[in-house]
Chain A
Amino acid sequence: MSLPQRYDAPDIGLTGWSRWIWRQLTSMKTALILLLLLAAAAVPGSIYPQRSADPNGVAQFFDNNPELAPVLDFFQLFDVYGSIWFSAIYILLFTSLVGCVLPRTKVHYDALRQEPVKTPTTLSRMPAYQKSTTPKGLDPVQVGTQILRGRGYRVIKRGNSISAEKGYMRETGNLVFHLSLVGVLIAVGVGGGYSFSGQRVLAEGDTFVNNLAGFDSLSPGLFFNPETLTPLSVTLDKFEVDYDFTNKTNIGAPLDFRATVTRKTSSEDPGETSVIQVNAPLDEPGASLYLTGHGYAPEITVRDANGDISYSGATIFLPQDNNMTSIGIIKVPDNQPEQIGIVAFFYPTAAELSTGAYTSMFPGIVNPLISMNVYTGDLGLDSGQSLNVYALDTERLTQVAGRDAPTPGIVLELGQTKDLPNGLGTVTFDGIKRFASLDIAHNPGQFWVLLFSLLALAGVIVGLITPRRRVWVKSTASGFEVAALSKREDPRIEEVVRELTQEIKKGSK
């Protein structure tokens, strides 16, 4: 119908062109090339650090390669999977998919309701063929019909022959697979939009409340509405780690982490105790809590020159190595007569090196020790800016105790109190708590992603392993003929013809 147009190229017109482009886009070859392009386009994201997965890695890359990094950044190589070029490939691919699969679905739907094709006149030309004599009193067409029906073939009788077809599930599976992929894509997109994920660090005894203020950091999806956060509070009662003490090659390896929490959904709720483990999050409606990190939170009290408590409580110390040497920052703006800042090191199992420095030899608490460098000066907390609680800008401060100061660093054993230099007060190491880092996240799309993925898997299995076969039986003057044809290569097709011939002959007995 569009033939004349095609020959008349200059007048092909806009519709002609769009039709041509659409046909190209929805061709198998295009699909194949786009798939390979997608695979290739995914590679750089595994070579360069990605902002989504590893923002610190990106910052580091910029530091180490100040010249190259901006160029890579221009080409979105730190955001590969959200980049224009990556998106273009998969959008084209899925457009192609829809354009390819919808017409096929229609064709298949019609085929399902049509009768098997006519019996070809020359059966011997088929890829699998056998002829045989007919035993007396046997109607091969009738026996053949029975046998093939019993095997799930759709059979139609036409004069002296039958035409049978089986394996419609091959195309059904294939279509289900491709359409499910569209389902996966939509569920990923929509689900991502309504999802959120955030972090919160809790020392033992602390409580997370599921509202905007409860998060240390939060990355919401595009359509996320904080009003939809469900009422929930989770208190970390206890955090336990089991370390390996017994196996020589494995000493200090963590064997298990357990965060015992009490969850409440309202103030009247008496609360319910659960345990969160790595790989075993706490699933609540609208939010799941995942255990992603842990460390020590030593309890430290600072008393100022007047003997008033100027700082007290469990402080999060960030682990630096496998043996849990940890660094904590203590900022005491209310200390009299001067503000002080402390950079403290915590060693759960301390050992002194020959240099006089300390190190930790085991991640569990055997011989806990804190060493501190003390600074005075304006901590900058009054400026109203929110400063990183895990960092102390020591540039504008004066070190009064520590390696670069006249007084050596302060070293505290558990329970000890020591004087701060220059009559600034005292500091006490009261106790040790642990902290847990929790990810709090919810993705309403993930159920659908899983559902469509499983549907796709089922579709692809059925599509790939179902053979689609056409079989014909024809009675002739001298006996009967059996032939078969398969849509794709089919290792069993000759066997099918042989078996069927045998059985038809047996049918006479």
Chain B
Amino acid sequence: MNSVVLNESLSQASLLVIFASMLVFTAAFLVSGWHLSKAASKKVKEVKASSALERVGLSLAVIATLVLAAGVIMRGIAAARVPWSNLYEYSITGALILMMIFLISIRVPEVRILATFVVGFVLLVLGTAVSLFYVEVQSLMPALQSFWLVIHVLVALTATAFFSIAAALSTAYLLKTANWVEKAKTKGVANFKRVMGIFPKKETLEQLAYRFNIVGFILWSFTLIAGAIWAERAWHRYWGWDTKEVWTFIIWTIYAGYLHANATRGWTGKRAVWLGLVGFAAVVFNFTIVNMFFKGLHVYSGL
């Protein structure tokens, strides 16, 4: 006879801790944004002061990530299993993994400037999670009690983290190279152009995005294979064009196209960067709309 013990008060506490992490993330977001606006200043003194702001912003991000980690771990203990088996849990664990990968990546100095984008995105994810996706702790339905599923989801979330950072780099690239920014006809745009001016040069942004996307693509390929192995164990076939399988395939194929674009004359640069963002849009679509509204065998979003 199997039984589980779900700890509801711990799960409530976990939610509070996650709210607390969101407060710190908000502070990190504001400070990083402030850093961006200061750094665009013409005055040398202010530009100097801004690098201190950058450090403060990143330190706040580290603290927020530690708090978030505590919240996620508490959720796992409360549910007596890994904390990634419904949409709410994917979101909080995914946000945590994204922050961890980002904070490791800032050893590459050019990545630091993305803090505002990444922390902003994490806030968006956490906000959506607690307001739209929240569910009480539940036991794992038998269909999900699989080692392959644990691996499959974890790797998918990690791949998504790499895709997200690449998307931030790509967005920066597009903002920097957009016609309306380069022409800078109004004063507001001119200020914005100065902000973009402190981002790495466009070749660097493009190359870094390419490298993050490569890692994401490799992890996503693994996700695809692990998913197929699990599907064979659970449903007797490794592939059945179930809705989520279809979207995993679509995302993989778009990113394969992106890699090709980077090696195809006439497609490198802006076009390839756009293609990478199309891939990321598919990732987000799959995570939200497909999970919530599309019918399929993967009916475990928990909503």
Q: Which residues of A contact B (CB under 8 A)?
A: 28-29, 31-32, 35-36, 38-39, 42-43, 45-47, 49-50, 52-54, 57, 80-81, 188, 197, 242, 244-250, 253-257, 277-281, 288, 290, 292, 439, 441, 443, 446, 449-450, 453-454, 456-457, 460-461, 464-465, 488-489, 491
Contacts and interface: CB of A to CB of B under 8 A. Distances in A.
Contact of B235 (A46, A188, A439, A454): A439
A253 B139 contact: yes
B222 interface: yes
Given A279-B143, A454-B225, A247 B233 contact: no
Given A32-B257, A39-B254, A281 B241 contact: no
Interface of B: 1-6, 8, 136-139, 141-143, 145-146, 207, 210-211, 214, 217-218, 221-222, 225, 228-230, 232-243, 246-247, 249-250, 253-254, 256-257, 259-261, 263-267, 275, 282, 290, 294-297
Contacts of B242: 53
Contacts of B221: 456-457, 460
30 contacts: A28-B263, A29-B266, A32-B267, A36-B253, A36-B257, A39-B253, A39-B257, A42-B249, A43-B250, A46-B294, A46-B296, A54-B295, A247-B6, A247-B8, A249-B136, A254-B141, A255-B3, A278-B142, A278-B145, A280-B233, A281-B233, A290-B234, A439-B236, A441-B237, A446-B232, A456-B221, A457-B222, A461-B218, A488-B263, A491-B207
Nearest to B230: A279
With most chain B CB atoms within 10 A of its CB, the pick from A46, A47, A254, A491 is A46
Given A255-B4, A465-B214, 20 more contacts: A31-B260, A35-B256, A36-B275, A46-B246, A53-B240, A53-B241, A80-B241, A244-B3, A244-B139, A247-B4, A249-B136, A250-B6, A254-B142, A279-B234, A446-B232, A449-B238, A450-B229, A450-B238, A453-B228, A457-B221
A42 B207 CA distance: 29
B134 to A, nearest CB: 12
Contacts of B207: 489, 491
Given A35-B256, A53-B241, A491-B207, A250 B139 contact: yes
B236 A441 contact: yes
Contacts of A39: 249-250, 253-254, 257, 282
Contacts of A46: 243, 246-247, 290, 294, 296
B141 A279 contact: no
Contact of B254 (A36, A188, A277, A460): A36
A43 B239 CA distance: 16
A234 to B, nearest CB: 15
Nearest to B206: A489
A39 B282 CA distance: 10
Contacts of A81: 241
A242 B2 contact: yes
A279 B149 CA distance: 10
A55 to B, nearest CB: 13
A47 B263 CA distance: 32
B257 A246 contact: no
Contacts of A35: 253-254, 256-257, 260
Q: Which 7 A-B pairs have the closest CB atoms?
A: A441-B236, A39-B253, A249-B136, A247-B6, A35-B257, A256-B2, A46-B246
Contacts, number: 158
B167 to A, nearest CB: 17
Nearest to B271: A32
A295 to B, nearest CB: 15
Nearest to B242: A53
A39 B279 CA distance: 10
Nearest to B247: A46
B199 to A, nearest CB: 17
B151 to A, nearest CB: 13
A460 B225 contact: no
Contacts of A57: 295
Nearest to A241: B142
B249 to A, nearest CB: 6
Given A35-B253, A45-B241, A253 B267 contact: no
A454 B145 CA distance: 24
Contacts of A439: 235-236
Contacts of A242: 1-3
Nearest to B11: A249
Contacts of B240: 52-53
A50 B241 contact: yes
A278 B149 CA distance: 13
Contact of B246 (A45, A49, A281, A443): A45
A218 B237 CA distance: 14
Contacts of B214: 464-465
Nearest to A246: B3
A470 B23 CA distance: 51
A443 B207 CA distance: 43
A197 B235 CA distance: 11
B135 to A, nearest CB: 9
Nearest to A195: B237
A280 B149 CA distance: 13
Nearest to B282: A39
A32 B264 contact: yes
A245 to B, nearest CB: 8
A49 B229 CA distance: 24
A279 B146 contact: yes
A464 B235 CA distance: 33
Given A32-B267, A50-B241, A197-B236, A278 B143 contact: yes
A281 B234 CA distance: 8
Nearest to B252: A39
A253 B138 contact: yes
Contacts of B217: 460, 464
A188 B241 CA distance: 13
B139 A288 contact: no
Contacts of B290: 46
A114 B253 CA distance: 35
A357 B233 CA distance: 40
Contacts of B8: 247-249
Nearest to A278: B142
B146 A443 contact: no
A400 B211 CA distance: 74
A36 B214 CA distance: 18
Contact of B234 (A47, A244, A278, A453): A278
B225 A457 contact: yes
Contacts of B297: 53
A49 B4 CA distance: 36
